[in-house]
Amino acid sequence: MVAPEDWQEQARRQNVAAESMKQPMPPSIGACDATASSFSWVDEGRVTPVRDQGSCGSCWAFGTHGAFEGSYAVINQDLVDTAEQQTLDCSGAGSCGGGWWAFKYLVDTGSTDETDYPYTAQDGMCQTNVQSLYTAAAWGYVDPNVEIPSVDALKGALCAYGPIAVAVAATLAFQAYTSGVFNENSSATIDHAVTLVGWDDSMQAWRIKNS
């Protein structure tokens, strides 16, 4: 995950543009309540299965698609497995060496099914003979004015839009995670994209989908 130096300025411009593109979201499936002590889109059946990005640094594509697929599931009540490899090969947002969010590509071009453009965990030539079946309408940041949005803002976004793409610092301890609640204070720079799918206040924990 490689953040542009001016990502916050880009974020502010993006949110201004998104205001004119936004479409009304349906009532949250399962009545997601941002004031509840816990909630998970996994429990509501609105999160696609965990995928393995392999040795390719394509987490930015998986984080992008995780949020896209989650939003699609909330709106359409249907799980679709879209093609991260297409975004990796064609979006220009990054490579196996890292990248940034590719939502603009999903708005402009869209994505096909995973089965029609399988993931290979390596950079490839863009295949133009596939049909993009799913497109995004708009996208934006939870709060472009801060590096880390507040807990309440993140919960509100989860309920309003479904799973959201976030970035973390994948330290050695993070990479060694096997189960339970991961808890580490780190000043490391963010370098890994994941998808935020819920929370549990009793454990002071977020629930994430990690590729």
Catalytic residues: 59, 192, 210
Contact by Cβ (8 Å): 105, 90: yes
Q: Measuring CA to CA, how many Å separate 195 from each of 66, 68, 129?
A: 6, 10, 29
**Amino acid at position 110, single letter:** G
Q: What φ, ψ does residue 110 adopt, rounded to 5°?
A: 90, -165
- Give the C-alpha separation, 195 to 138, whole Å: 18
* Alpha carbons 48 and 46: distance in angstroms, whole number: 7
